[in-house]
Each structure stands twice: as structure tokens, then as C-alpha cells.
Amino acid sequence: MSKLSSSQERELREAFEIFDKDGSNSISSKELRDVFRALEINASESQVQAAMKQMDRNGDGEISFSEFKRVMEVQFYRKYTNDEIRCIFDHFDRDNSGFITADELREALSKIGKTFRNEEIERMIKAIDKDNDGRISINEFVELLK
């Protein structure tokens, strides 16, 4: 039984669809490798295969949504350290302004092969942006991850 709320499950579905670039309803090892590369994670082929093996419970060589959800569900309840949060935030904040802008979010998402309309990016920002200044501060980012 899932501990996720319907909105958390929807968020996971959206993330899964970003990674599933070919729309096959599964994530292949190539797509997983592309995700690592886009996130600037220098993973060797053996590390990618180990991640696949960990997630691919039925051994079919693909990660289904249910397999993805099983692994990622843990992340919703994980507590991140301040250093981890800062590192993730800095990855998005390319101009080191102290804020994640719509352009920076769009750029990060495009690196994993997904293009979003301006309205979609704005909706993502708005969901996190508590002070309504059109950008995500470190404090707003912390609230997202804590």
C-alpha cells in the first residue's frame, strides 16, 4: 500500500514521464543514462546498470512506473541535509543569483530531453513560489524538500 498522497503520486508520474523520453511507459537504461548525464552525474556504465538492477524488480530491462514509484516513494519521506539541499539548489541556480528562475528551470528540464510550454514552467514555479515573486528562493526550495 502506497504512503503517497494523490498529489505526490501525480508529481512522481510527471517526473517519470520526463525521464521516459520515448513515451514507452518505461525507462530504459539509455534513458536512465541520459538522466544521469543531464543531472551532471558522472556514472559509469556499470553504475547505470547497477541502478537499473536496483529499480527493475521484474528483470525485464526496463523500469515501469510501479518500479520507479517503489524506489522514489522513499524520497518523499527522506530528510535531506542542508548541504544536500544547497547542492541541489545550486545545480538549478546557474547564475548564482540565489533564486531559481523560470529560464533556469526550463534549461535544467531541457537537459533531460523535455520541453515545456511557458505556462507549464510558470505553473511549476508558482506551485513552489510562496512570496509570489516569480522565482524560487532557497527557503522556498527547502520547504519543497523538507
Shared-domain flag, residues 54 and 21:
yes
- Averaged confidence pLDDT in the chain: 87
How many beta carbons lie within 10 A of that of residue 48, not counting itself?
Answer: 19
Q: Given pLDDT bands bounded at 50, 70 and 90, which one contains residue 79?
A: confident
Shared-domain flag, residues 38 and 92:
no
What CA–CA distance (Å, rounded) separates 111 from 124?
17
- CATH code of 40's domain: 1.10.238.10
Q: Is the pLDDT of residue 71 over 90?
A: no
| Residue 21 pLDDT | 87
Q: Is the pLDDT of residue 100 over 90?
A: yes
Q: Given pLDDT bands bounded at 50, 70 and 90, which one contains residue 75?
A: low
Shared-domain flag, residues 17 and 73:
yes
Shared-domain flag, residues 39 and 91:
no
Q: Note the Cα 144 to chain centre separation in Å.
A: 12
29 in Cβ contact with 45 (< 8 Å):
no
Q: Is the pLDDT of residue 107 over 80?
A: yes
Locus of grid cell 504512503: 3
| Residue 77 pLDDT | 63
Shared-domain flag, residues 90 and 52:
no
63 in Cβ contact with 83 (< 8 Å):
no
Shared-domain flag, residues 35 and 63:
yes
Question: Nearest Cα to 65, choosing from 117, 2, 128?
Answer: 2
Shared-domain flag, residues 109 and 96:
yes
> Which residue range(s) make up the domain with 88?
82-145
Q: Which of 57, 77, 97 is the last residue of a domain?
A: 77
- The strand pairing partners of 27, in sequence order, are 63
Cell of 75: 524520497
Is 0.75 topped by the overall pTM? no
72 in Cβ contact with 108 (< 8 Å):
no
Shared-domain flag, residues 19 and 37:
yes
Shared-domain flag, residues 86 and 135:
yes
Task: For 25-66, write each residue's pLDDT tens digit.
Answer: 999 999 988 888 777 778 888 988 988 998 999 999 999 999
Shared-domain flag, residues 63 and 16:
yes
Does 1 map to a domain?
Answer: no
Shared-domain flag, residues 86 and 128:
yes
Strand 136-137 versus strand 99-100 pairing type:
antiparallel
Task: For 4-21, write each residue's pLDDT tens digit.
Answer: 778 778 888 888 888 898
Q: Which of 39, 60, 77 is the last residue of a domain?
A: 77
If one counts the domains in the chain, the total is: 2
Indicate the helix (H) or strand (E) that contains 7: helix 6-19
Task: For 117-138, write each residue's pLDDT tens digit.
Answer: 999 999 999 999 999 999 999 9
Shared-domain flag, residues 102 and 68:
no
